[in-house]
Amino acid sequence: MAPKKKRLDVPEENYDFLGYSSSEPTEADISTLVELGDRQDREAREVERLMGALTQASEKLRKTQEEDIPRLMDEIGMREFKTSSGLTIKIKEDVRASIPKDQEAVAFEWLRSHEHAALIKRQVTVEFPVGEDAKASAVIASLEEQELDVADKSSVHPSTLSSFIKNQLQEGNNIPLEPFGVFRQRKSVISK
């Protein structure tokens, strides 16, 4: 690599951040750069290909694990099976939940009206113009009085919600399923 051109107005520790070079690139430099550019392009395409293959393989596994095996075992009335090769196949069942965006108002209202508001996390974000650090530090009370744009976001973490819904269902409590995006996740688990 060519040495950096010395500049009197720049401290030596900052030279690496300057784009100046004291010499013209040689043919060997250009040739190496072309090779490296071609190599980077090949490597990027290989990563893209492998990521695509991983996505496809993951979807095939998900379908076998969450659809094909559970469906067949349901049809033949089995919850566990041991293969001749020594694999044990079991169906694991869990309850999952995640509030869909279009159901947030209904879900949050239900949680609040049934005394479960503590599950809801609330995040309030205030954006200040550049250079308003003192003002940002001073804001504690009335944000609207300061005429600032405030983003108010409420959420319930999916694992917290899933655990809550599962407990409520196990206790026999009536829960509206749609606003909470509740679904039964069934998948096969293989062990040796």
* Inside any domain, residue 8: no
Choose the most confident range, by mean pLDDT, from 10-24, 71-85, 116-130, 164-178.
Answer: 71-85
**pLDDT per position as a tens digit, 50-92:** 999 999 999 999 999 999 999 999 999 998 999 999 999 999 9
Q: Are residue 48 and residue 104 in the same domain, yes or no?
A: no
Q: Are both 71 and 111 inside the same structural domain?
A: no
Residue 110 shares a structural domain with residue 167 = yes
- Out of 90-94, 122-126, 137-141, 147-151, the most confident range is 90-94
CA 92/CA 75 separation, integer angstroms? 16
pLDDT of 143 reads 64
**Is residue 101 domain-shared with residue 160, that is, in the same domain?**
yes
Residue 172 is part of which domain span?
92-129+146-191
**Cα within 13 Å of Cα(94), Cβ side:** 12
In a domain, 2, yes or no: no
> Mean pLDDT over residues 95-104, rounded?
92
Together in a domain, 70 and 109: no
Q: What pTM, to 2 d.p., does this model score? A: 0.58
Report yes or no on 184 lying in a domain. Answer: yes
Domain count, the chain: 2
Q: Compute the mean pLDDT over every residue in the chain, rounded to the nearest whole number.
A: 85
Longest dimension (CA), the chain: 83
Domain-located, residue 4: no
**Is residue 151 domain-resident?**
yes
Residues 102 and 167 in one domain: yes
Q: Lowest-confidence range among 91-95, 121-125, 163-167? A: 121-125
Using CB atoms within 10 Å of the CB of residue 15, give its burial: 0 to 12 exposed, 13 to 18 middle, 19+ buried: middle
- pLDDT tier for residue 131 given thresholds of 50, 70 and 90: confident
Short-list 154, 149, 82, 101, CA closest to 123: 154
